[in-house]
Chains A and B, each alone.
Chain A
Amino acid sequence: MRRTAAVWAGKATGALSRISRRGGGTTLPGDVARAIDPDVLRKLSRDLKHGAVVITGTNGKTTTSRLISWLLEGAGHSVVSNRAGANLIFGATAAALERAGVNGRLQADWGVFEIDEASLERAVDEIQPRAAIVLNLFRDQLDRYGELESIAKRIETAMSHLPEQSRAVLNADDPRVAEIGMNLTRKPLWFGLDDTSVAMRELPHAADARTCPRCGASLQFDAVYVGHDGVYRCPNGDFARPAPEIAATHIVLTGFESLAMDVDGAHIELPLGGLYNCYNALAAFAAAISLGLDEAFIADRLRSVRAAFGRQERLEADGRRLNLVLSKNPAGFNETLRTAIDLAGGRYFLIGLNDRRADGTDVSWIWDVDFERLRGRAQVVVPAGNRANDLAVRLKYAGVEGAPPESDPARALNALISATPTGETAHLLCTYTAMLDLRTELVRRGWAKPYWET
């Protein structure tokens, strides 16, 4: 009875907030329903015919969730999944509510939930997932999350509370994620990259977690793929990257357009670019295998996936192509810059930096992003967002001649469009709310669809 009331109240809130267009109704219904019945998500999760998958990690949660949903849907299952940016427990609750029927029951085969690192413990307890994926642990929003170490501890606690028949699917290439996995009593399913042709030799400036958890020595890297993710070992021999069962070889990256790799004898190709998406695809592959999907089917289905909102979204704008890429912390930003410059040959840029809660109120991290990569390569760089002035200073010290800082999204967009020749592609790399602000302007001009329609 209580659960039915909670579901109905939640659904009504969702409808109202969608009508008023305040963020597409992503989390508020969850708040309302949980206030009436705190166990509503636990109860709804039990209705799932086959179970649920939860995905956590600093970068790639949304894309990986999207890939797993895509795979499960392709196999004929109905999937309930939370929206980008709604990855707290309230967001997952809201997503489940939206799909609940008039009887208060959730009608779906699978749940696929991306979960904020800090909410994982509660999510595991309530959702009781069949598989839990940890993608990576990078430095991100220290103002909100606190130190990497405390986040890692919380994830470890959550993972140790996974139900008996559940599988932990972990990135072997991330030293801090590996440490979590090694402390678990049941062996996780490890995934990782095995192709030094796409590796860097040295750790980027933004790297963290570079010391051995056993003896404190600095880890040695034989390959660096993304941030501090790579092939590492302690010089004292007491800690090393676990050998991945699900390993990617023969990686081919084509700009933001596509990537290809061999996994376990299967050849995978998908229309997403960048090395970081190799990890996302590999994580989805590993999860799908652990849920019993067939390798050949996974490979075939991935060919036709589409990017999630704001993650490599491609738009047409006044004869120019726009490529929107969410870039919210040093590890992610360095990768999108590397992809845009080295792989896609990008020359026209808008960088958007906001310091609202969802972005992180501390913008110090921009100094750990290698904007030096733009020097001599970018034709125009427009600093945008409410901290555009900070970006302008960062660019100056990177030796990049930027356009004047422009915190108004409409004017920033004008500056970018007028500097980008017709037929060329401009890359918009933005933090979360800077992306929302720009997108609102793009929608207003009819260049993008509102995000609840994508």
Chain B
Amino acid sequence: MARHKKTFTVGWLYPDLMNIYGDRGNILTLLKRAEWRDFEARLIELGRGSSKRMDEVDIFFFGGGQDREQALVYEDLLETKQAPLERAVTAGAGVLAVCGGYQLLGHYYQTGEGERFPGIGMIDVRTDAGKRRFIGDVIVDTSLVDVQPPTLVGFENHSGRTFLGPKAKPLGRVRMGFGNNGEDHTEGCLQGGVIGTYLHGSLLPKNPHLADHLIRSALKRRGITELVPLDDAAELAAHEKILARAKTPDGPRAQR
């Protein structure tokens, strides 16, 4: 009997509308890192109106969008995605939500005029509009314990100020950059299989340890606890380069 490959499935929420900050890099990284470990990696694109096979997904990815697109997504998220997404996460699937996706999974987004756009409340975070945009390189000391190196690097570009409630733990503390809100030094959130963050750049290619953390966590429910190590020299060199230039006296901002 032929040996069937183990499958690994990524579900991309709104690939056409929520795909602004090189989000494809995160998708490619998850798929390739599974493929290189001899999994049959599959991608399910979950556009508007589609909730097919969401129960097969190991990791959902929810990226950033422009305001116009984000508004189009919201209604569909409530109608066709929220229930199956919650079911999948309860069953052990993981979620990586970046920027706009991160905000939409929280309680609400409040504009400068006080108007509230409710999110789906899967994570205990709320977001207020800010005047100034936070733009630039970010270095985070992560609170994840099973990752090495203990840093995450990325790029942020957001005006939303996100604050965590008691159920959400920060993904890390910013060493450089603004993070969630520019006030409390936190960046991103961790809550029951969901990782929310403002980091793109893209995020996962330069943080292969975070990619593997996601994959490992999602596969736990299928009894897989260890991943075959990969050669991450190229990825970690790019990671290290960001750390190194932050240490130079004129810093990454001054050199431009």
Instruction: Show the binding face of A for B, using Cβ within 8 Å.
Output: 139, 142-143, 146-149, 205, 208, 210-211, 216, 218, 355-357, 361-368, 389-390, 392-394, 396-397, 405
Contacts and interface: CB of A to CB of B under 8 A. Distances in A.
Contacts, number: 91
B106 to A, nearest CB: 21
Nearest to B159: A146
Interface in B217-256: 234-235, 237-238, 241, 255-256
B201 A364 contact: yes
Interface string B151-185: 00001010000000000000000000000000000
B91 to A, nearest CB: 29
Nearest to B237: A389
B87 interface: no
Contacts of B17: 210-211
- The 3 lowest CB-CB distance pairs between A and B, nearest first, are A364-B22, A367-B25, A367-B22
B146 interface: no
A205 B20 CA distance: 10
Nearest to B156: A362
Contacts of B235: 393, 396
Given A362-B155, A363-B201, A365-B22, A397 B256 contact: no
B32 A397 contact: yes
Given A139-B20, A218-B16, A362 B157 contact: yes
Size band of the interface chain B makes with A: 35 or more
Contacts of A148: 66
12 contacts: A143-B155, A149-B66, A210-B17, A218-B47, A362-B135, A362-B157, A367-B24, A368-B22, A393-B234, A393-B235, A394-B25, A397-B29
Contacts of B206: 390, 393
B136 A393 contact: no
B79 interface: no
A367 B17 CA distance: 16
A147 B234 contact: no
A366 B238 CA distance: 14
Nearest to B203: A364
A356 B256 contact: yes
Contacts of B241: 389
B103 interface: no
Nearest to A390: B238
B94 to A, nearest CB: 20
Given A211-B68, A397-B205, A361 B256 contact: yes
Given A143-B157, A389-B238, A149 B24 contact: no
Contacts of A362: 21, 135, 155, 157, 200-201
Interface in B187-201: 200-201
A207 B221 CA distance: 36
Contacts of B86: none
B48 A218 contact: yes
Contacts of A365: 22
Contact of B238 (A356, A367, A392): A392
B72 interface: yes
Given A362-B157, A396-B234, 11 more contacts: A142-B157, A143-B135, A149-B66, A211-B17, A356-B256, A364-B201, A367-B22, A368-B24, A389-B234, A389-B238, A397-B205
A407 to B, nearest CB: 9
A367 B28 contact: yes
B153 to A, nearest CB: 11
